[in-house]
């Protein structure tokens, strides 16, 4: 190989699409306890997650927020922190025997990691640089 610069794989999820995914995920996480018969402690976890995701999304510096207070990359770091601990929550909170609740934790964690990997966290910065030229 020559010393040619390598191009990064384009990331297809824009900040706007990421916001749509966030709000949709919040709604699904809020609705899931009503759909599945899960233990109260798991229900509380998912209601808290839905509230937290919605709150974070509404304050993130991206197109669908109510007030742009949280930098987009900080939003992403917070999501990954939740994704890292979420798989352990069924055991930490005592509902690991409930298959639906346990798998919701695993699924939400996996979704978060995949969306993060496919999100273009620098899109707004590149657009600002181009506009200032």
Length of the chain as a residue count: 133
Residue-wise pLDDT tens digits, 90-99: 999 999 999 9
94 in the Ramachandran plot: left (φ > 0), alpha (ψ -120 to 50) or beta? left
User: How many degrees, rounded to 5, is the angle at CA 31 between CA 107 and CA 81?
Assistant: 40
Cα–Cα dist 32/34, whole Å = 5
pLDDT band at 50 (very low <50, low <70, confident <90, very high): very high
DSSP assignment string, 73-126:
HHHHHHHHHHHHHGGGHHHHHT-TT-HHHHHHHHHHHHHHHHHHHHB-TTHHHH
**What's the predicted TM-score (pTM) here?**
0.85
Residue-wise pLDDT tens digits, 77-131: 999 999 999 999 999 999 999 999 999 999 999 999 999 999 999 986 555 555 5
Residue-wise pLDDT tens digits, 9-44: 789 999 999 999 999 999 999 999 999 999 999 999
Helix (H, G, I), strand (E, B) or coil at 60: strand
């Amino acid at each position: 190989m020559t010393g040619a610069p390598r191009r990064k794989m384009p990331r297809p999820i824009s900040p706007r699409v990421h916001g749509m995914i966030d709000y949709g995920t919040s709604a699904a996480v809020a609705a899931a306890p009503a759909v599945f018969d899960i233990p109260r402690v798991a229900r509380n976890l998912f209601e808290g997650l839905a509230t937290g995701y919605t709150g974070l999304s509404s304050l993130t510096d991206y197109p669908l927020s109510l007030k742009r207070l949280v930098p987009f990359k900080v939003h992403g770091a917070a999501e990954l922190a939740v994704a890292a601990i979420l798989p352990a929550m069924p055991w930490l909170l005592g509902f690991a025997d409930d298959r639906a609740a346990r798998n919701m934790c695993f699924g939400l964690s996996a979704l978060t990691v995949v969306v993060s990997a496919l999100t273009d966290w620098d899109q707004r910065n590149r657009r600002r640089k181009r506009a200032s030229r």
